[in-house]
Chain A
Amino acid sequence: MNSTDKKAIREKIRTFILASIHVPDLMDDDNLFESGIVNSLFAVQLMTFIERTFGIEVGTEDLDIANFKSIEASAGFVLRKKTQPAAA
């Protein structure tokens, strides 16, 4: 995994978010939850999208809002999960 991968992940997540949320100047670090841009219903949609698109599973240990609080955080989470060795 390199910076190109992360950029591609970021763009996929950004496209998904912008298809639903009308914030044209959304920055990678903008906190989606604190700013009220998204609510809990959208967060569930986002996590489901991330699981399906990147072939990873959000485990109970991953249920921390910090993992999905921004485009950057979500992309970082995807990268970590994809490089993590599979659980035995």
Chain B
Amino acid sequence: MRFSTIGVIGAGTIGIGVVTDLVLHGLNAVVVDISDAALSKAETEILKNIRFAPMFSKTLPRVTREDALRRITFSRDLRNLTACEMIIENVPERWEIKRPIYEQLDASIPPGVCFGANTSCLSITRIAAVTRRAAQVIGMHLMNPVHLKPTVEVIRGFHTSDATVAQLQVLLEHLHKQAIIVGDLPGFVSNRISHVFINEAAFVLQDQVSTAENIDQIFKQCFGHKMGPLETADLIGLDTVANSLDVLYESFHDPKYRCCPLLRKLVEAGHLGRKTGRGFHTYPEA
């Protein structure tokens, strides 16, 4: 199958990255979000990403603002997705938000169109169960910044068909990405491990064992990580990290996934990381 237009639901950090990547690889995108403000911000960020992309990867093309805008449709209405060949959903990691979207999508999108659920935690089997196309629902955990990350954690739900896996692989190959296919239990591989690590770093900070700077420096300087755990949390978004931990806790009923109170407090204070200019660290406004 050849793709030309992909539907993207949710114009947050990852949704913006997905659209950037699609446009940089010559595809069209229809972006749907419930918020005009989010769509407006997404347009600015997508154009900025596209403009600067060639500096970070010589294989990415130079796409003009006009060409980029010709390829993107911004909308608040899910019905504008009916002509898309695949849907990539990127709304927040909360079941009460995801569930009605899949019910509406299933009712309005032609049968045969696959749904890629971009989640780092929620069970793909559970998401698929609210649709009548469980074989065509597949998980894809995209990393930020999407257009610069060469690998995607792809999650096969209980009913996901071989044809759906193959179709997603065609799309990912078009985007010059590799899929690592894993099974379906909440958190999959990456977040089940990384969020325990991030959460424990937050506990270490809360217990005043060290500063946020030093906690991150230890992992960068001693372990050779590109980013420390608290910087990583700021990049993901502390609200997303807390939501993911809650999903893991509710799914496994294992206390090792309990969200650190300091992390929860920062979320409640509106310090969500890079996207708000402050999380465990502060970020100057660019």
Please determine whether B52 and A36 come into contact, CB atoms closer than 8 angstroms: no
CA–CA, A19 and B227, complex, Å: 17
- Encode A30-42 as 1/0 by CB contact (under 8 A) with B: 0000001001110
- Give min CB distance, A21 to chain B, whole Å: 9
**Residues in chain A near residue B78, CB distance under 8 A:** none
Which A residues touch B274, using CB under 8 A? Answer: 41
Known A43-B55, A44-B52, A47-B52; further 12 A-B contacts with Cβ < 8 A: A20-B281, A22-B217, A36-B220, A39-B226, A40-B148, A41-B144, A44-B48, A46-B286, A60-B51, A63-B55, A63-B62, A65-B55
- What separation, in Å, do the CA atoms of A64 and B49 have in the docked complex? 15
- Interchain CA distance A31-B54 in the complex, whole Å: 20
Find chain A residues with CB under 8 A from B282 CB.
19-20
Subset of 5 A-B contacts with CB under 8 Å: A22-B217, A22-B281, A44-B49, A49-B284, A60-B54
How extensive is the interface on chain A, given as a class? 20 to 34
CB interface residues, B 250-286, toward A, < 8 Å:
274, 281-284, 286
Assess whether A54 is interfacial by the CB under 8 Å rule: no
**Is B77 positioned at the interface, with any CB of A under 8 Å from its CB?**
no
Task: Report how many residues on chain B are interfacial, defined by Cβ distance under 8 Å.
Answer: 23
- Point out the residues of chain A lying under 8 angstroms from B144, CB to CB: 41
CB atoms of A45 and B55 under 8 A apart: no
Cβ of A19 and Cβ of B284 under 8 Å apart?
yes
- Of B55, B145, B281, which contacts A41 at CB under 8 A? B145
CB 8 Å contact bits of B45-77 with A (1 = contact, 0 = none): 000110110111000001000000000000000
Given known pairs A39-B226, A39-B227, A40-B145, the reply for A49 and B220 (CB within 8 Å) is: no
Given the complex of chains A and B, what is the CA–CA distance between A22 and B226 in angstroms? Answer: 15
Interface code A47-65, partner B: CB below 8 Å = 1, 0 otherwise?
Answer: 1110010000010100111
Closest B residue by C-beta to A53: B286
Whether A64 and B55, one on each chain, are in contact in the complex, defined by CB atoms closer than 8 angstroms, is: yes
Expressed in whole angstroms, the minimum distance between the Cβ of A64 and any Cβ of chain B is: 7
Minimum Cβ distance to chain B for residue A44 (Å)? 5
**Are A63 and B281 in contact (CB-based, < 8 A)?**
no
Task: Report the separation of the CA atoms of residues A40 and B213 in the bound assembly, to the nearest whole angstrom.
Answer: 20
Q: Is B30 an interface residue (CB 8 A)?
A: no
Query: In this complex, what residue of B is CB-closest to A57?
Result: B51
Contacts of B48 in A (CB 8 A): 44, 48
> B114 an interface residue at 8 Å Cβ cutoff?
no
Write the nearest CB–CB distance from A67 to chain B, whole angstroms: 9
The CA-CA distance from A41 to B144 in the complex, in Å, is 9
